[in-house]
Amino acid sequence: MKTYENFTFQDRSSQSAKAKQEKLDLLRAKAPIDPALQRARVLASEKREADRVERKASRTAADAAAKQAALDLKAADEKAEAARLAASKPVLNEEERKLVRDAKYAARKNRR
């Protein structure tokens, strides 16, 4: 379409319809898709989707297992720490604390 010519709306409309019809004719001129090829493409697409879902499920399961392992490890560490603290410091009653305090005072007095 030349820009220096004054085209009317009808001219532009008919040129647009003609171009559209040519594109449709080209599209219709294509050979139809072979049904066996189309079925193979559909099967391949379904297989890809199933693989994607399976990978996502395995990733989710692996993440859940890793989180559970981390929680188990943390719980075991806390339990071991509590056991270590319980074993390292015996709980003293009031009389035993007084005896320990008196022993410290006596040791300090003997150093002078």
Q: What is residue 4's predicted lDDT score, i.e. its pLDDT?
A: 63
Beta carbons of 8 and 2 less than 8 angstroms apart: no
What residue spans define the domains of the chain?
1-30, 33-111
d(CA 83, CA 38): 67
Within a 10 A sphere around the Cβ of 7, how many other Cβ atoms? 13
pTM of this structure: 0.42
Give the tens place of pLDDT for each residue, 92-106: 789 988 999 999 999
What's the rounded mean pLDDT across residues 40-63? 96
